[in-house]
Structure 1
Amino acid sequence: MKKIFLLVAVVLGIAVTQASAQQRQPVRFGIKAGMNLAEWQGQTINSAQDMMDMTKGSLHRKMREGFHIGAVVAIPVAPGFEIEPGLLYSQKGMRLTGKIPMEQFDFLNAGVTVTNKAEYIDLPIVAKLYIGEGFHIFAGPQVSYLVSNKVQVQAGALGFNALNQEWDMQNGFREFDLAATGGIGYRFASGLNLSAGYDYGLETVDSKGNFETFNRVIKASVGFTF
């Protein structure tokens, strides 16, 4: 992890040096926020999928809806090329929903939902290449710190919520996550930014790596660069 932070520092140092040499393109600060659709992929989810198949549709895997919000810095390196580090609060995790697989209980519409609610601080450092007026593509590494991890269980029947409990589950989960992030976007002349991206986790979710399971997040963002 120290090597990762050293690499981040080197990249930022080079970018700032290049930006200083290009006085016509000032460093710009911005804010961004948007929606997350998060899930896990890998060995654990494959096992869960086998269990879902055995229930004949009674158990379903879903993405956890969440959001991200934070600040970015656009550092020009060359015409049409920027380095953009950011600092974001981001909600990740996954969700399983199910119902009692017995026809005699169908009228109850009894079901249960289990949600992993993982909250991270993301530090992405992306290279942005502009194609045309405002359209751009971006990609780069992202280091994330797990600030909170909870499991929520909800159960009910006939439209009534009979159980709604959550508890901390940070033990056993990896404190730092590493991902590759990338996507496309468009920046208007006014400074308004629209983007869509994807985070591809490279480290296992559990700290010991016993299960080959990784974070995956689809992001849709809106921001403004000053």
Structure 2
Amino acid sequence: MGSEGVGRRRRVVAPAVNGVAKDGAPQPHPPKLLTLPTVLTIGRVAAVPLLISTFYMEGPWAATATTGIFLAAAVTDWLDGYIARKMQLGTPFGAFLDPVADKLMVAATLVLLCTKPLEISLLRDGPWLLTVPAIAIIGREITMSAVREWAASQNTKVLEAVAVNNLGKWKTATQMTALTILLASRDKSLPAQDALVTSGIALLYVSAGLAIWSLVVYMRKIWRILLK
């Protein structure tokens, strides 16, 4: 024992009862695990099997149901973040689960669209048209997840370098719009179905381009920090 420990007695803290210690000092309450934003996020995860089920169902309502589920997930993605910030209900578990739910929904939708493409001339002549952006988007998300996991173990500057930026927000917006259009266009009763699919694929390529671009921006920021 060093000299700092001589003549000192360790202060024993009395156990807390109902959030208040015996010495009268209030004790902080542990954060609730299931807040409203977290429940909404869990709902998005639970919606993935429903999305898959309705996607493979036949009937005039199937495409509408699939699109509705995806849109509901997109809305709750914005809503849970808004509620968490507005009502200060953010939790570490919610912060972890939110991007997981997003990636599950997007990846599932991309895989579904690739495994059962629409029977239109554009996709019959070029079945790879959906596969290429799907691989780019999913690959980027896997890479960014790994990078952010690594950044969390580094210093604050590295962690700040991978914070969501405006480029990432534009990527998400175009991605959600493209996937909504592609899911909705599976309804054969819609007019100008070919035009809808073409616009959806075009937006998906824009989203894939933004995804790769944002990844490059993040990696350049990290590289500059590491070189200092």
Q: TM-score, normalised by structure 2?
A: 0.22
Q: Which has the higher helix share?
A: 2
Q: Which has the higher strand share?
A: 1
> Looking at CA atoms only, which structure, 1 or 2, has the larger radius of gyration?
2
Q: TM-score, normalised by structure 1?
A: 0.22
